[in-house]
Every structure is written in C-alpha cells, then in structure tokens.
Structure 1
Amino acid sequence: MTLVLPAGDMLKKIQSDLNLTEGREQEDLSKLKEWLVLQPHLPKIDDDRLLAGFLYGSKNSMERCKKVIDLHYTVRGAAPEFFKNRDPKNADMQSCLESVYIVPMPKLTAEGARVTIHGLQDPAKSQFNASECMKLVFLTGDIRLREDICSGDVLIYDLSGSSLSHLAQLTLPLVRKFMICGQV
C-alpha cells in the first residue's frame, strides 16, 4: 500500500489540530510505554510508529488513547473470526482479495482525512465471503495504523452490483460484531 504521508503545511495542520509538537509526541510515547508496562493483559509494544498511530487516532488525548489501546487488543480476543488467520497468501484471503477491493486514496483531503473506497471487484462472479472480507478490512486498518498519519477517515462503500446473495451473508450478529470492532 503506497500512501502519500502528510508533509510540510499539511503535517503542521494535523499536528496543530492535535496540539502536538515533536517534543510532546516523544513525551506522550514515553508515558504510554510506562503505562503499558503496568498493563499485564496487554502485549509489550515497542513500536513507536504504532503507538503514534494510536495517539493520532485518539486526537492526542492520553486517556482516550489508553482506552483505545485496551479495546484494540480486547476485541481481538473477542472476535477471532476477524483477527486470526490473516495471512494474505492463504486460500480464503486470496479469494477475498479477488472478490473485493479496499483502496485507500494516496492523498489526504484538504482537512487531512484519508478516503478509503470499498467495493466488489466483479459482482457477477464474486466468491464473496463476508467474514473474510471483514477480516481484510481490519487487516488494512492495522497496516494503516502503523504506516499512516491522518486526521480522520472517510469510508466509501460502493454497493453497486451487490445482490441478495451478498446481503444474505451479512447476518445481524456478524454486522453487529463488525461495527463494534470497527469503532475501536
């Protein structure tokens, strides 16, 4: 995934909107690492880029960031159908990659948000598996959490060509779990 990361004025705008300076970001990352040591139920995270992603996603609110990190790892245990066996080379994921597209736009909006478009590649011959495709959505989000800097997300779902057979797979429990996990 090749994303154009913000630089210059756009990066300054995003950092200003978050009341974030280079020194403040390093200080907040250190505080998060200290907090993580005291959380035995959470994994050890040494990846500053990942922690910075949580900070940016939490609008630089330390308390909100702690809650998001806690929920991020908690939902992974509660929804293994979305977070286990995510090897893009396995047959189920390959089938999903052939049936849907998830395309984060390379450039940010004027407000600093990243637009991502989701849709069916070829609805007529789609081997659509809702659970696997939701897994791919979360995998894409996890990659962006580590690699992207933006002030928010705009998600576009292109449902043209969708049929009742596609919708039949979107059971209420599956969609509910997807929505809960997606809010973290």
Structure 2
Amino acid sequence: MLQGMGDSHEFVPATAEQVATIRSQLGTDEEDIRQAVASLRAWLTMQPHLPDHIDDARIERMYIDCKCSRERVKLALDAYFSLRNKFPEILTNRDPVGPEVSYTMQHLKLVTMPRLTKDLQRVHIMAGVDPDPSAISCVKYAKVLMMQLDMMYLDDCSLGDVVICDLNGVTLGHLLRIDINVVRAVEFCYKTVNRRRMKEIHLLNVDKVTDFVMKIAKTALSEKLLKRIRLHLPGSNTLFDHVQREDVPDELGGTAGPIDTFAYEFIRRAEKLRDWFLEQDKYTSDESKRPADNHYADSIFGVAGSFRKLTVD
C-alpha cells in the first residue's frame, strides 16, 4: 500500500522507494539480503537447541534492524526463541482477544503510528494512563508492547523508533507501582531480540513528577537510552522541534487524528494474527540441547530474569 492511500489510521508499510532508501543508508541491496537470509537460515538449521520456525521476511527485517550484521542477527534469532523461556510472563500466552490485551487497552493507549516520519522512523506512543494508580499492571502492559514489537517484523521497515510518553495525569502513586524489573526486561528484549534503533524518547507533561520519573529511568534504563530522553513541560510545543505534527495524534497537539483510531487499528491487526500469536508458544529453545560452546548463552541469560518487585528510594 502506498503512502497516502487507505484510511488515515491504517498501518502503512514502507513504500518500495522508502525501502530502497533504508537499504541504501545501511549499505545493503537485494542480492546482499538474499545471501544473508540464506546464510542465516542455514545457520539456524544447524542449531540443535533452536526451532527452525521463522519466515525469511522476518529474518530480512532482523538483518535490517541489526544494521546488516549477520553476527548480531544470530544473537537476535537465538534470543527470539530463548527469551520465551526466560520471560514467559511477557513473551508467551499472547492472545489478542484475551483478557490481558483487553485490560491494557482499557487502561492505557499503546499506539504505533501508521506512517513513517520524513526521516523514515516509526513513532510509538504511550498515553491515556488510567487516573487510578491501582489500575497499573506492568506485566500486562509489557506483554502488549512486546506483541506490537513482534508485529513490526511482519511488515515494518524503518531506520529506527521514536517513543512519545504522555505523563498527563500520572502521579507519584502511579510511579510507585512501576515494576523496575519489567521495564528492564522490556529494554533487554528490545535491544537483544528486536534490535531496532531507539532514536529518541520524549516525555510529555513531566512537570510535577520529573525527578521521580528520571530516578526510575536511571534505575531501569541503560546509559545509552538515558541520553536519548527529552523532557517537555505542560503546554509547551518543544516536541515539535523533533517530530512533525502530522505524525502525532490530536490529543498530544498533533494533526494525525484521534488517538483511539490508532489504538483500535492495532487491535484489528493483532486479531487477524491471533492464530500466529497462539502458535508461537510451541517454538522455544530447548536449553538441554544448547551446545556447550554456544557463545550467545551468556548474552541472553546473563541478566536477572525474575520479576521481583523493586522499590526506588
């Protein structure tokens, strides 16, 4: 589907011209991608602990997200199957019509905007937090977020992500319910499996909770991500120094349209993939068969895996 066609809220994959530009910027082309996918497919079939159950299109998008490094894709492929054992709370039992997805969409807007920005980046938005802090469920929210990221492998090609978090209505009570380990798990999955390039994180309406938000961020996020956080005060238009209004929903000062239309579009797309999501639980690594000299194990399993509740002083 070409940009500008279809309903304004429908997800629009990159055009052929945009894909060509993205490939060019990353120094790859059709033949290089074909050879890389074939090589990576051959490698995957030789791994006794991993299922050979992933289509070529997903491997190609991993290759793009990994900046065309085959070695990085091998780690991402290993982690793609292995982390389902490590973080089952957010990476398994993902039913688009199940109660966890329904609950999340009732209490939070998690949105992937339908069109690439002029810089060929994908905008993701978290907004509409339930005013009742007791409604917060980090594990449920994380599961839906990881579903959205998995769907990016289906048809997205971009040069990176821009995340916008609207903290309007967020209080200290909300922040005290954030599970730091869940945030860490999401970041770990993002950088190990998805390997997408996080360009910027914009926090809107941070005035009254700025200090505590940054304390959580410093506890949960890597130094690299911390440097990409931008803070925007209530009533300011500084977000639009970085992101065009046409790429932002109306409620956040943009002109793209109502945020609900984009949230419902995600549900519609996910429901079409329900059988695929439910089937994925069958495809996990068999750690009893992992070769002793496998050098990816430490990278994947060398971080804390439990979702213990942590407190921020």
> TM-score, normalising length from structure 2?
0.55
CA shift, 1:81, in A, is 0.9
The reply on whether 1:98 has 2:106 as its aligned counterpart is: yes
CA shift, 1:46, in A, is 4.4
Looking at structure 2, the residues matched to 171 and 70 of structure 1 have their Cα atoms a distance apart, in angstroms, of 26
Moved more, 5-14 or 18-27: 5-14
The reply on whether 1:139 has 2:136 as its aligned counterpart is: no
Give the aligned partner of residue 172 of structure 1. 180
For the Cα contact (< 8 Å) 2:18–2:120, is it kept in 1?
A: yes
CA shift, 1:175, in A, is 2.4
The reply on whether 1:119 has 2:161 as its aligned counterpart is: no
Looking at structure 2, the residues matched to 46 and 138 of structure 1 have their Cα atoms a distance apart, in angstroms, of 17
Give the aligned partner of residue 83 of structure 1. 91
Give the aligned partner of residue 224 of structure 2. none
Larger Rg: 2
Which residue, out of 165, 170, 176, partners 1:157? 165
Moved more, 100-109 or 159-168: 159-168
Give the partner amino acid of 2:162: V
Helix, strand or coil at the partner of 1:116: strand
Unmatched runs of 5 consecutive residues or more in structure 1:
none
Looking at structure 2, the residues matched to 93 and 17 of structure 1 have their Cα atoms a distance apart, in angstroms, of 36
> Aligned pair count?
184
Looking at structure 1, the residues matched to 73 and 179 of structure 2 have their Cα atoms a distance apart, in angstroms, of 31
User: Per the alignment, do residues 74 and 48 of structure 1 end up closer, same or farther by CA in structure 2, a change over 3 Å counting?
Assistant: same
Helix, strand or coil at the partner of 1:107: coil
**What's the C-alpha RMSD, in Å, of the aligned pairs?**
2.0
CA shift, 1:177, in A, is 2.3
CA shift, 1:152, in A, is 1.0
Moved more, 130-139 or 62-71: 62-71
User: Per the alignment, do residues 100 and 17 of structure 1 end up closer, same or farther by CA in structure 2, a change over 3 Å counting?
Assistant: same
CA shift, 1:71, in A, is 2.1
The reply on whether 1:128 has 2:148 as its aligned counterpart is: no
Helix, strand or coil at the partner of 1:154: strand
Give the aligned partner of residue 68 of structure 2. 60
Q: Could you list the per-position Cα deviations for residues 129-156 of structure 1 after superposition, in whole angstroms to 9, with x for gaps in the alignment?
A: 1110011100000011222111111111
Helix, strand or coil at the partner of 1:123: coil
For the Cα contact (< 8 Å) 1:33–1:45, is it kept in 2?
A: no
User: Per the alignment, do residues 126 and 2 of structure 1 end up closer, same or farther by CA in structure 2, a change over 3 Å counting?
Assistant: farther
Looking at structure 2, the residues matched to 10 and 39 of structure 1 have their Cα atoms a distance apart, in angstroms, of 34
